[in-house]
């Protein structure tokens, strides 16, 4: 640990406020314009509060109030809070997908911190991509930074049943298409499934990534599991603001926290909570921002020995509110014992082991011990073969077990619109053993690798009672989804990966225990198809889309922009 405390003159903000020149006069006079006295900020750490509140983001509606609580903590600890709004990536509304803008927000976060007089930062996010985006930006900027998770919303309810975000949308949509519930039922579900501020309360990408942020040491202990409307969430916001000030004086920066042990803990935690497959893409990008090596092989290696302990939908039964009352993430981490790197540093200055030492489990069905794990291992599997030379992923516990080893004939859709037009065609040549394939859904093809990976079961099969089939794409899948869905196939079909070469009727072999995904077509035939393949025309000629298309990396490399991965530190701006 660093022992020497910074002096006020060593603060980064001192360069803006402390000098006796004309520029500093301007900074001070404009701060006075906002109603502050010099004593409000002089010699104090400026804490930038990067707030992803927006009227269009239902998961962050409480951030207007929470930011006041963060500010309260900053003031109490002797800092100067400055709220800086940043793009809110609203999962339900933003098209074509929030993933298209994750790197955009990461850049915005990094450049806000660089271009303004920030000494440290509180990062306020939670809805899916906001968490990795803010952390990626903060890691690259490397100013003291702490993450304040939005917290999950309360349980959903309908007619006495508990509803979970996403998972029950897919479930009841299938039941509606199968004719098992009415339009009126469906409308009632619409009213009851999301009933408070906060992010999705299943173990979707939001809960997964906020938990990963805590497991890698970027939040105060326990922060990720508190439901958004709970009074403890407000108190946590204040504590987080306070701690940000301390981190500045101690000069405790993201890359002091994010090392190989922190990444090991994040991956292990994601596996133990049955986290979203999206975490794979995000954690690879995060780790690489800090120069820490992470690839698909580490996920697979840790999956082979990490038990699934959190009984949360979609892999389990309960929701995040129940998880909090049962002890939350700290209790899961404690139950992992030696599977965790207990010496990893965290933002409160203590080790992960110290932070979870007194954690308790209050419901052993919701938070399991290793002996009574829901799944002993393999809550995630990395597949390779001639259909995915650079890897693909599947979440085995979310799939019907009989599909873990399966060979079937491909039913191929050229893109999403083709699938939407034909999937429910009564004449579609598909049966329960078919393998549904979707092309052009990857980082470039989607674009933005949308969450289309839980391809719908054809209506005629739903009516026969089929609820799971092998489905393959280069898309991602919402963490709230389930099924035998092979995702993140790399390289993607848009750039001519082998997925582009699959045709109707080809045999595809999925072997999860053997970690294989193969197209049973001869090499000679595949070579002939490849030479006949034509690259699609570029989707964007200008603007952000064009920059995105030029610089986005493939799923196995984290879908970061190639120029944002770790490298020489960008210099601070001159103040003149
Ligand atoms: Fe925001 Fe699910 S919609 S987390």
Closest residue by Cα to residue 226 from 244, 247, 201, 252:
201
Distance 496 CA to ligand 1 centre (A): 32
Q: Does any ligand 1 atom lie closer than 6 A to the CB of residue 206?
A: yes
Q: Does any ligand 1 atom lie closer than 6 A to the CB of residue 91?
A: yes
Of 95, 124, 128, the residue with max ligand 1 atoms within 8 A of its CB, to mutate for a pocket test, comes to 128
Distance 184 CA to ligand 1 centre (A): 25
Q: How confident is the model at residue 479 (pLDDT cuts 50, 70, 90)?
A: confident
Interval 329-378: pLDDT, tens? 999 999 999 999 999 999 999 999 999 999 999 999 999 999 999 999 99
Q: Does any ligand 1 atom lie closer than 6 A to the CB of residue 200?
A: yes
Q: Does any ligand 1 atom lie closer than 6 A to the CB of residue 559?
A: no
CA distance 58 to 331: 29
Please tell me the pTM assigned to this model.
0.96
Interval 542-571: pLDDT, tens? 999 999 999 999 999 999 999 998 778 899
Distance 231 CA to ligand 1 centre (A): 21
Q: Look at residue 8 in the predicted model and tell me its pLDDT.
A: 95
Of 199, 320, 480, the residue with max ligand 1 atoms within 8 A of its CB, to mutate for a pocket test, comes to 199
Place of tokens 């009574």: 372
Does 146 have pLDDT greater than 80?
Answer: yes
CA distance 78 to 242: 8
Interval 247-305: pLDDT, tens? 999 999 999 999 999 999 999 999 999 999 999 999 999 999 999 999 999 999 999 99
Does 4 have pLDDT greater than 80?
Answer: no
Q: Look at residue 181 in the predicted model and tell me its pLDDT.
A: 95
Q: Look at residue 416 in the predicted model and tell me its pLDDT.
A: 96
Residue of the nearest CA to atom 1 in ligand 1? Answer: 127
Distance 265 CA to ligand 1 centre (A): 24
What does the angle CA 108 – CA 548 – CA 88 come to, to the nearest 5 degrees? 35
Q: How confident is the model at residue 422 (pLDDT cuts 50, 70, 90)?
A: very high
Q: Does any ligand 1 atom lie closer than 6 A to the CB of residue 451?
A: no
What does the angle CA 495 – CA 498 – CA 500 come to, to the nearest 5 degrees? 60
Average pLDDT over residues 231-236: 98
Distance 59 CA to ligand 1 centre (A): 6
Interval 150-198: pLDDT, tens? 999 999 999 999 999 988 998 899 899 889 999 999 999 999 999 999 9
Residue of the nearest CA to atom 3 in ligand 1? Answer: 91
Count CB-CB contacts under 10 A for residue 440: 25
Distance 158 CA to ligand 1 centre (A): 19
Distance 224 CA to ligand 1 centre (A): 14
Q: Which of 18-27, 263-272, 308-317 has the highest mean pLDDT?
A: 263-272
Ligand 1 atom showing the smallest separation from residue 58 Cα: 1
Q: Look at residue 482 in the predicted model and tell me its pLDDT.
A: 81
Interval 212-225: pLDDT, tens? 999 999 999 999 99
Q: Look at residue 130 in the predicted model and tell me its pLDDT.
A: 98
Q: CA dist 371 to 152, 364, 523, Å?
A: 28, 11, 46
Place of tokens 């939908």: 313
Q: Could you tell me if 502 and 412 are in contact, meaning their C-beta atoms sit under 8 angstroms apart?
A: yes
Ligand 1 atom showing the smallest separation from residue 91 Cα: 3
Q: Look at residue 2 in the predicted model and tell me its pLDDT.
A: 54
Closest residue by Cα to residue 314 from 555, 132, 93, 485:
485
Q: Does any ligand 1 atom lie closer than 6 A to the CB of residue 199?
A: yes
CA distance 172 to 354: 43
SS3 435: strand
Of 98, 101, 127, 198, the residue with max ligand 1 atoms within 8 A of its CB, to mutate for a pocket test, comes to 127
CA distance 308 to 275: 9
Distance 178 CA to ligand 1 centre (A): 27
Interval 40-52: pLDDT, tens? 999 999 999 999 9
- Which residues face 436 on adjacent strands? 411, 471
Residue of the nearest CA to atom 2 in ligand 1? Answer: 200
Q: Does any ligand 1 atom lie closer than 6 A to the CB of residue 204?
A: yes
Ligand 1 atom showing the smallest separation from residue 480 Cα: 2
Does 315 have pLDDT greater than 90?
Answer: no
Distance 275 CA to ligand 1 centre (A): 14
Distance 60 CA to ligand 1 centre (A): 9
Ligand 1 atom showing the smallest separation from residue 206 Cα: 4
| Average pLDDT for the chain | 96
Q: Could you tell me if 50 and 86 are in contact, meaning their C-beta atoms sit under 8 angstroms apart?
A: yes
From the centroid of its chain, how far is CA 430? 33
Does 1 have pLDDT greater than 80?
Answer: no
Q: Look at residue 239 in the predicted model and tell me its pLDDT.
A: 98
Interval 487-532: pLDDT, tens? 999 999 999 999 999 999 999 999 999 999 999 999 999 999 999 9
Ligand 1 atom showing the smallest separation from residue 166 Cα: 2
Q: Look at residue 3 in the predicted model and tell me its pLDDT.
A: 59
Distance 138 CA to ligand 1 centre (A): 22
Q: Look at residue 28 in the predicted model and tell me its pLDDT.
A: 97
Q: Does any ligand 1 atom lie closer than 6 A to the CB of residue 536?
A: no
How far is it between the farthest Cα atoms of the chain?
A: 79
Distance 85 CA to ligand 1 centre (A): 19
Interval 96-125: pLDDT, tens? 999 999 999 999 999 999 999 999 999 999
Average pLDDT over residues 137-153: 98
Q: Look at residue 354 in the predicted model and tell me its pLDDT.
A: 98
Q: Does any ligand 1 atom lie closer than 6 A to the CB of residue 59?
A: yes
Does 57 have pLDDT greater than 90?
Answer: yes
Per cent of the chain over pLDDT 70 is 99
Count CB-CB contacts under 10 A for residue 189: 23
């Amino acid at each position: 640990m660093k022992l020497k405390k910074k002096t006020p003159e060593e603060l980064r903000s001192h360069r803006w406020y402390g000098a006796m020149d004309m520029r500093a006069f301007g900074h001070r006079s404009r701060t006075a314009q906002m109603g502050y006295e010099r004593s409000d900020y002089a010699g104090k750490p400026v804490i930038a509060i990067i707030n992803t509140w927006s009227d269009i983001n239902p998961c962050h509606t409480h951030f207007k109030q929470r930011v006041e609580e963060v500010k309260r903590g900053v003031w109490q600890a002797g800092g100067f809070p400055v709220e800086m709004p940043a793009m809110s990536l609203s999962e339900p509304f933003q098209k074509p997908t929030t993933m298209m803008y994750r790197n955009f927000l990461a850049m915005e976060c990094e450049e806000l911190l660089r271009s303004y007089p920030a000494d440290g930062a509180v990062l306020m996010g939670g809805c899916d991509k906001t968490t990795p985006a803010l952390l990626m930006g903060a890691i690259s900027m490397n100013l003291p930074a702490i993450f304040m998770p939005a917290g999950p919303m309360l349980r959903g309810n309908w007619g006495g049943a508990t509803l979970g975000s996403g998972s029950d949308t897919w479930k009841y949509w299938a039941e509606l298409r199968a004719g098992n519930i009415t339009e009126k039922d469906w409308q009632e579900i619409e009213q009851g499934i999301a009933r408070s501020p906060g992010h999705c309360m299943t173990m979707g990408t939001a809960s997964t990534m906020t938990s990963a942020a805590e497991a890698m040491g970027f939040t105060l202990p326990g922060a990720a599991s508190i439901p958004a409307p709970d009074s403890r969430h407000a108190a946590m916001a204040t504590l987080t603001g306070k701690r940000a000030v301390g981190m500045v004086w101690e000069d405790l920066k993201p890359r002091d926290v994010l090392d190989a042990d922190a990444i090991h803990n994040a991956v292990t935690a994601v596996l133990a909570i049955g986290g979203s497959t999206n975490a794979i893409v995000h954690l690879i990008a995060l780790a690489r921002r800090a120069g820490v090596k992470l690839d698909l092989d580490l996920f697979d290696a840790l999956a082979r020995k990490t038990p699934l302990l959190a009984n949360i939908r979609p892999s389990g039964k309960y929701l995040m509110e129940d998880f909090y009352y049962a002890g939350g993430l700290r209790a899961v981490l404690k139950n992992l014992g030696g599977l965790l790197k207990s010496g990893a540093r965290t933002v409160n200055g203590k080790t992960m082991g110290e932070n979870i030492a007194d954690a308790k489990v209050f419901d052993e069905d919701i938070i399991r011990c290793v002996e009574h794990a829901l799944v002993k291992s393999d809550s995630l599997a990395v597949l390779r073969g001639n259909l995915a030379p650079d890897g693909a992923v599947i979440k085995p516990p979310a799939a019907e077990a009989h599909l873990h080893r399966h060979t079937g004939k491909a039913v191929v859709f050229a893109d999403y619109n083709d699938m939407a037009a034909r999937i429910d065609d009564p004449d579609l040549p598909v049966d329960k053993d078919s393998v549904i394939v979707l092309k052009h859904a990857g980082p470039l093809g989607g674009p933005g690798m949308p969450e289309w990976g839980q391809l719908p079961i054809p209506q005629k099969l739903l009516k026969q009672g089929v609820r799971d089939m092998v489905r393959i794409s280069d898309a991602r899948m919402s963490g709230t989804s389930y099924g035998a869905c092979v995702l993140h196939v790399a390289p993607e079909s848009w750039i001519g990966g082998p997925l582009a070469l699959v045709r109707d009727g080809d045999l595809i072999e999925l072997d999860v225990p053997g970690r294989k995904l193969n197209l049973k077509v001869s090499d000679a035939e595949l070579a002939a198809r490849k030479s006949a393949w034509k690259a699609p025309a570029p989707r964007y000629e200008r603007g952000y889309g064009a920059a995105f298309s030029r610089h986005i990396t493939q799923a196995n490399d984290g879908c970061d922009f190639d120029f944002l991965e770790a490298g020489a530190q960008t210099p601070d701006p001159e103040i003149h």
